[in-house]
């Protein structure tokens, strides 16, 4: 068994004083627990739990993945939807969310796994951080957003199918290989008002690891696409390009493109700026 325990505290002008803890336990290969919690000024609170075990059954061919998240963050930004928005459209809101997913996996051959599962997202929007009020308007008070789906919060549940190719040489400290995850969801808005009752959501997550011969330097190339079959859905579940914290995201989940599943050409046209590069040195 291996694992890590980390406690940290810091202060900066963006989040104020922050204390956090991370606990990771790995009883075996592809069998791990991860718990993290964070408390900051401005009513920022986050709790995350993840448990994965892909080594059950005869010949380790079945498993599961469970994740639960609960957080409140008053620093979220929203700029509106679509390519015509820019940084001047910035507004602020508090994002409260409770949700998670459970996927049941089958591993027919090495490096390939298939799963069936479900997810839930219950999101509420409130006034943002008071210290930002002098510079930013509150999203929920903006007349231009009053008719936006999800602006009053919403609950989304969905059934999903995952297909994963995992050719990495290690799970946590990978230095070589390729990881591809394809997800197809059938989602339903279960809260009122219901902008649309059901819709499809499709995502592609791609990672490629490259390293030097002695594995001292590792280059990670990663891209994430999300497509939806409707644009009239809660804005926080809309299609994105590049991931929540990469392409066109001034802040977490703050700058999203309104793309339907059929608008693949629009998405592909921006691929040249859709790569996020992480460089790590060990």
Dist CA 119 CA 66 (whole Å): 10
Percent of the chain with pLDDT over 70: 82
Please compute Rg for the chain using Cα positions.
20
Tokens of 225: 């696409």
Q: What's the farthest any 2 CA atoms get from each other in the chain?
A: 61
Rounded (10°) CA dihedral 242, 244, 248, 251:
-160
Rounded Cα distance, 147 and 133, in Å: 22
Match 């059934």 to its residue by tokens.
159
pTM for this model (two decimals)? 0.80
| CA 190 vs CA 117, 140, 186: distances in Å | 18, 21, 13
Would you place residue 7 in the very low, low, confident or very high pLDDT band (cuts 50, 70, 90)? very high
Q: For residue 169, give both structure tokens.
A: 């040489």
Residues 127 and 124: their CA atoms lie apart, in Å, by 10
- How is residue 172 annotated by DSSP? S
| Residue 88, φ and ψ in degrees, nearest 5 | -70, -15
pLDDT of residue 241: 58
Q: Tokens 């892909």 belong to which residue?
A: 54
What does the pLDDT look like over 230-260, one tens digit per residue?
878 888 888 765 444 433 333 343 334 433 3
């Amino acid at each position: 068994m291996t694992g890590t325990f980390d406690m940290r505290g810091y202060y900066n002008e963006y989040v104020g004083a922050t204390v956090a803890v991370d606990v990771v336990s790995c009883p075996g290969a592809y069998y791990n627990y991860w718990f993290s919690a964070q408390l900051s000024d401005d009513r920022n609170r986050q709790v995350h739990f993840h448990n994965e075990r892909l080594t059950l059954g005869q010949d380790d061919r079945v498993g599961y993945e469970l994740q639960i998240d609960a957080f409140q963050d008053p620093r979220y930004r929203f700029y509106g939807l679509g390519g015509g928005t820019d940084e001047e459209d910035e507004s602020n809101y508090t994002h409260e969310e409770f949700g998670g997913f459970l996927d049941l996996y089958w591993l027919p051959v090495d490096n390939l796994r298939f799963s069936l599962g479900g997810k839930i997202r219950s999101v509420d929007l409130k006034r943002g951080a008071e210290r930002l009020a002098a510079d930013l308007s509150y999203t929920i008070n903006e007349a231009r957003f009053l008719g936006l789906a999800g602006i009053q919060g919403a609950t989304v549940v969905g059934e999903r199918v995952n297909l994963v190719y995992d050719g990495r040489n290690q799970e946590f400290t990978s230095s070589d290989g390729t990881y591809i995850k394809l997800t197809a969801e059938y989602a339903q808005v279960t809260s009122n008002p219901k902008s649309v009752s059901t819709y499809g959501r499709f995502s592609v997550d791609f990672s490629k690891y490259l390293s030097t011969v002695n594995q001292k330097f590792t280059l990670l190339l990663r891209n994430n696409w999300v497509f939806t079959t409707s644009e009239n859905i809660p804005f926080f579940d809309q299609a994105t390009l590049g991931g929540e914290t990469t392409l066109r995201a001034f802040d977490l989940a703050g700058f999203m493109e309104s793309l339907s599943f059929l608008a693949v050409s629009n998405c592909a046209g921006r691929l040249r700026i859709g790569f996020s590069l992480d460089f790590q040195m060990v």
